[in-house]
Every structure is written in structure tokens, then in C-alpha cells.
Chain A
Amino acid sequence: MNGPQDVGGRHGFGPVAPEPDEPLFHADWEARALALTVAAGAAGHWSIDESRFARENRSPAEYYRLSYYQIWIAGLTRLLLDKGLVTGEELASGQAGDRATVPPNRRLGAEEVAAVLSRGAPASRDPQGRRPAFAVGNRVRTRNLQPAGHTRLPSYARGKTGRIASVHGFHVFADASARGDHAAAEWLYAVVFDARELWGGDAATGDEVVIDAWEPYLEPC
């Protein structure tokens, strides 16, 4: 989506401000928000791409007003409602209703945490004979895609010419996964652009920007 999350190259956000002490969390609720999101996600009711879309798909005013973990809680709440795991009444009252909405066998137990965290969730899939359309060194142009749904093609890199820097593998296709189609996968590439192709004459000669792009984002050129 052409939403508030797509900030690459935007002006006006001011200087980068590292904190001197850099606490991991700035309040206990931030730690609980992280853990709730990870634990609820581990139950498998949604993909990481659905959760990214649930976070970004809101008005710019709201997105920029909320802090990082506030966005996570807003996204988690939306997913829980959308998937029917909690009701609006339950959220408002804080009281669990009678209706059982959660399959009981899909709760992350404390004893499983270490294994689940260290296993992760690889995005690579079996290409089942599909061959990559591009090879390292090929020149490609990114398509001018403007979907209302989730995409990982940043607006600054649409309709731009670059070359394939590496073929990462055959990976879950985020755009489809965010729509609930978790089986769709595509060849994934690192595509390198001359910074001047993206930013014009302001960029330094020789500087480059690399994005990871799935095959449907690319056309030969």
C-alpha cells in the first residue's frame, strides 16, 4: 500500500537520535507487547506478512503518532478481531465471553519457547521445478506496481533500472501471504541500483542501494 510505512527517501523526519543508554524496553508493557505478539503469532493464525499489514494499514496521522510497540499492539488487536479470536465486546470489557474461539491445541507453552525461538520460521520453499527467470548480472526494471494491499516493493524503487546482485532462493511471496495465501512463493533476488537512478544528482557517484525483490516485481530490460 502507498501508506505511512513507506518512508524510504521521504523528507522532514529530522535527525537520527540514538539514545545514550538504549534500554531494551522503555516500560514493562513494551516487553509484554513484544512477547504477546510473538506468542500469539506462534499460534499460527496469521503470517508475519499479515501482521505487517495489520500494523501499517492505518491513517498516516495514527501511524506517526503511535510509538513502535503501540503500533504492534494496534496490529495485534486488529488481527485478533479479524480472525475471530476475540470479540469487540471482550476487548472492551476485558472479560472472556462464553464462546470458545481459540483451538485449544495452539497455545505456545513455556517449555516450547526456546525451541520455537531458535527454530524460527524459514521463508524458503521448494521451487518444484520452477526456474528463476533472472541470473546474477541481468539488468531488470522494477514494475510500477501500486497495490492497495501489502507489498514489499518500496515506492522509491518502482519503475527503476537495476541489476540482479544475487538469487536468494524461492521464498514465500509477502504480497500474497499478507492476503492469507500462505502457499504462494516466488524467486527472490537482491537487486542493486545506482543511487543516482533512485535519487538523481544529489546522490554520490558510486553509491548504491539494494532491495530484495520477488520475481513478480521485476521485468527484463
Chain B
Amino acid sequence: MPHDHDHGSDLDEMSARVMALEKLLTDKGLVEPAALDRIIDSYETRIGPRNGAHVVALAWSDPEFRDRLERDATEAIHSLGYTGRQGEHVTAVFNTPERHNMVVCTLCSCYPWSLLGLPPVWYKSMPYRSRAVREPRAVLKEFGVTLPGETAIRVWDSTAEMRYLVIPMRPGGSDGMSVEELAGLVTRDSMIGTAILPDLAGKEEART
């Protein structure tokens, strides 16, 4: 606990304001500080992109699960225990050589918390929100991604309570890997659609 500040606050304005609001709401009986601690702990330690990576790895390695994911992602994902806030309704969108999928929320910051955790600052920022729908190729270039000209882009603007999970293409050279090993290859950005996953073999040659 921080020491008292009766002598006048040396906190910055937002720290002081939020601390005062928390105290007021606690005194009014609206919130319980121990509950706030648990909420923060959940998003710092339990709910993050490993959940989504597990879903992707299963989609790559289990054709039956992939079918379920395509038919009813909410059912398939909830059956793994990845339920909850900002993941109540989920659609999985599958990247192919012909189509790349990318997710944004132009109106606020909707994001599949239960699968990817809290969104990064850039996802919530005005540059990403304003440009992803209009010039996705330019945005991807800023992430170091250049798609082949024949790959069309479909941008999903999350304007309701449906959350979107991009299933990236499985990297070449990953044959025979376990679900756990595959999950280790999946980056958070590849599940938003701002990254693609490099092949494991021949990376050096591909770079020339």
C-alpha cells in the first residue's frame, strides 16, 4: 500500500484521480478493492494470446476441430474452456493463399479478450482504427508484411459483439510437430492479421 498523502499529493493527476475514484466507490459500496486486484491479475497472468495460439494449433493439426471451428467457432472455442468477457461470440476466419484476413474495430477497441488478452496500444490507436479498413496494404507494410498481389484482403470491422480470430496459414516445415510446438509458432499479431508466419525451413534462401 502506498503511504498516505495528507501533506499534499506528489502523485500525477491521473493516479490521484483514479485512486480517489476507487476510494469513493469502495466507500459507497460499489466496488471491492480485492475484486479489482483479481481482475487485473486475470489479465496479467491468465488471459492472453496463448489461448488463441492453442486454438490455431488445434485447427492446424485436427481436421475435425477445424471443421467445428469453421461451422461454429463459439462452440468449438468454448469447448476448450476459453469462454468469457469479450469472447462470448466468436467467428474464426481462415487465411489462404487467395485471401488474407485482418481485424480492426474502427469505432472503439473490440477485440477477442478471452483468446488474445487485452489489445495492444496500436490496435486501439487512431492510426490503426482509421487506416486498416481503407488502406490495409499500407498498414501491413508498416508491420513488415507484403502480400503477393494475387492475395485479396478481407478486413473485418468488429462493429457488434462478434469477435474475430484470424487462423494464419500453417508455416511450411512444421510437419509432424505437436500441438504444443505448433502453438509456440503462433504470434498474437498473426491472429489479428497484421503478421504472417514465416516458413521454418529455407528462411535464409527466401530472404535473398
Q: Which residues of A contact B (CB under 8 A)?
A: 5-11, 13-19, 22, 24, 26-29, 31-36, 38-40, 43, 48, 52, 55-56, 64, 68, 70, 73, 76-77, 80, 85-86, 90-91, 94-96, 100-102, 104, 106-110, 112-114, 117-124, 152-154, 156-157, 166, 168-169, 171-172, 174, 188, 190, 192, 195, 198-199, 202-204, 206-214
Contacts and interface: CB of A to CB of B under 8 A. Distances in A.
Contact of B136 (A152, A153, A207): A207
A207 B89 contact: no
Given A13-B130, A28-B15, A38 B28 contact: no
B124 A68 contact: yes
Contacts of B117: 24
B42 A114 contact: yes
Given A15-B142, A208-B153, A210-B155, A102 B30 contact: yes
A171 B161 contact: yes
For the complex of A and B, list the 9 residue pairs with the smallest distance between their C-beta atoms, beginning with the closest: A8-B106, A212-B160, A206-B152, A35-B36, A110-B34, A123-B161, A96-B27, A113-B38, A35-B39
B157 A209 contact: yes
Given A207-B136, A212-B160, 5 more contacts: A35-B35, A39-B30, A171-B161, A195-B155, A209-B157
B159 interface: yes
A114 B45 CA distance: 13
A101 B39 contact: no
B1 interface: no
Nearest to A116: B85
B35 to A, nearest CB: 4
Interface of A is mostly: mixed
Contacts, number: 258
Contacts of B18: 29, 32-33, 36, 73
Interface of B: 12, 14-15, 17-25, 27-32, 34-40, 42-44, 47, 83-89, 91, 104, 106-109, 114, 117-118, 120-122, 124-131, 133-137, 139, 142-143, 152-162
B38 A114 contact: yes
A70 B13 CA distance: 11
Nearest to A4: B126
B118 A34 contact: yes
B83 A120 contact: yes
B153 A94 contact: no
B86 A212 contact: no
Contacts of A18: 120, 122, 143
